Amino acid sequence: MTIWVDGVVVFSKSSWKFICEQDIQAGSETLATRFGWAKRGFIFEVFDGDTLVASADYPTAWQQVLPFVLLGMVFGFSVEYFNLLGWVGTRGRG
């Protein structure tokens, strides 16, 4: 995650967590941010102390993800079973 304020990088960090929580110093103010994946979908929230000053939610339901999972399973099976990429494997050579 990288955060810019007026074209200047004020924070940059990589994390394996689903939600990144960071404090950002912008001038004389300190803002707390939350960005990432929650049970309700992708979230972005900005706090000034305990007050929520900005937020955005992008809800994601399993109905939106399931088609991609199924498509990936079909594609993966097809590539392996029909040898679509031309890989020479050891299947059947025992």
Residue-wise pLDDT tens digits, 48-70: 888 999 999 888 776 777 888 89
Domain boundaries defined on the chain: 2-60
Q: Give the per-residue pLDDT at 30.
A: 87
For residue 11, how far is the Cα from the chain centroid? 18
Instruction: Enter the pTM of the model.
Output: 0.47
Among residues 78, 43, 40, which one has the least CA distance to residue 62? 40
**CA-to-CA separations, 82 to 19, 66, 74, 77, 89, in angstroms, rounded:** 40, 24, 12, 8, 12
Among 23-27, 42-46, 81-85, the range with the most confident prediction by mean pLDDT is 42-46
**CA-to-CA separations, 87 to 3, 7, 94, in angstroms, rounded:** 42, 47, 17
Among 3-7, 30-34, 35-39, 88-92, the range with the most confident prediction by mean pLDDT is 30-34
